[in-house]
Amino acid sequence: MRCDDLEPLLTDFLEGDLPADVETEALEHVAGCRACDLYLAEYVETIELVAEWGGEALPTEVSQRMLAAVLNDLGINGSAPGTGS
């Protein structure tokens, strides 16, 4: 699995909705990729912070821009789906 392969799977990965073989690949990739490990930690932290602020869901556009910004900060090529980048 490559970094670009992991990004679109993150929601299903965190919710435990990936097939077992894909989840294993994702875990192996994150374990060996510092950028994706950091990205995943930031993604989880963002979700936790939003939950602490009252649990209101972020508008899709806002979450997509945040995702794209984190990817950019980590130097991961690609963009969040629907951001037009």
Please answer whether residues 44 and 14 qualify as being in contact, where contact means their C-beta atoms are separated by less than 8 angstroms: yes
Answer for the pair 19, 1: CB distance below 8 angstroms, yes or no.
no
Crossing angle for the helix pair 20-32 and 34-52, nearest 10 degrees? 110
Torsions phi, psi of 50, nearest 5?
Answer: -60, -40
Supply the pLDDT for residue 83: 42
> Residue 66's pLDDT is what?
81
pLDDT value, residue 85 = 42
Q: Where are the alpha helices (DSSP H) in 1-85?
A: 3-6, 10-14, 20-32, 34-52, 60-74
Residue 20: its pLDDT value, please? 94
The CA radius of gyration of the chain, in Å to the nearest whole number, is 13
| Sequential pLDDT tens for the chain (85 residues) | 898 998 889 889 888 899 999 999 999 999 999 999 998 898 888 888 877 777 567 788 888 888 888 877 777 755 444 444 4
